Amino acid sequence: MAAQSVLIVEDEENLRVALQFNLEQEGYDVHSAPDGLTGLEIARREHPDLLILDVMLPGMNGYDICREIRKDSDVPILMLTAKSEEIDKVVGLELGADDYVTKPFSVRELIARVHALLRRRRGETQGTMIGEPLRAGDLSVDLAGHIVRKGGEIVELTPREFELLALLVANPGRAYSRGQILDAVWGPNHFGDERTVDVHVRWLRLKIEDEPSEPRRIVTVRGLGYRFEG
């Protein structure tokens, strides 16, 4: 999967820069705009995969941008509202925003929402059923919420590890070649080596297997790749 792009429209510079930095760290291509008109222009030019939209903006406010975008696009929109604007989230959702976060928020929380919205979107386009976490023994994988638990405890995964696990878990018993995994998780334009897959599988096994040296969840398919045992 190629890098997904996010557009941040936020006039508070510190917040905008912090969000951009953190989303880039997560592997997204990030565009940003300090005001509404610039934001709308970038949205129309770049067709981002997700929009983070502040409500109170100079020039054109978040609602107006949301309304304009929704005329010809169903891109996921996450609105940022201030606590004093509690009523605003209702308006935002009516205008077609998909989710909202109330300021002040933690960057970690915002990124979790971004992952969830993009994953939900991808699930829709692939026709996958998203909702109940997928379970295998004491492992549960919540695709929409991007949360993995083992024995009830949250397992911290990097975005790549999560994508890799999600791919395998969504089709238990299906054998994937290393090449297929590279294409699906790193994107067809990735100049990677198939050993990248092995390295990530090894890390993932350390986190989700009872005995990483004798894996029973992510098993090796000799001469091909890997398969998830549900």
Q: Interface with Ca ion by CB under 5 A: which residues?
A: 11, 54, 56
| Closest residue by beta carbon to Ca ion | 56
CB atoms within 10 A of CB 74: 11
Residue 176, beta-bridge partner list: 226
The nearer residue to Ca ion, 71 or 83, going by C-beta atoms, is: 83
Beta strand 218-221 pairing with 225-228:
antiparallel
State the nearest-atom distance from the C-beta of 51 to Ca ion, in Å.
15
Q: Which residues contact 40 (CB under 8 A, 6 or more apart)?
A: 60, 65, 68, 69
State the nearest-atom distance from the C-beta of 76 to Ca ion, in Å.
20
The nearer residue to Ca ion, 37 or 56, going by C-beta atoms, is: 56
State the nearest-atom distance from the C-beta of 185 to Ca ion, in Å.
36
The nearer residue to Ca ion, 25 or 84, going by C-beta atoms, is: 84
| Type of residue at 48 | P
The nearer residue to Ca ion, 88 or 142, going by C-beta atoms, is: 88
Contact at 8 Å (CB) between 218 and 228?
A: yes
Sheet holding 175-177, edge to edge: 175-177, 225-228, 218-221
State the nearest-atom distance from the C-beta of 85 to Ca ion, in Å.
10
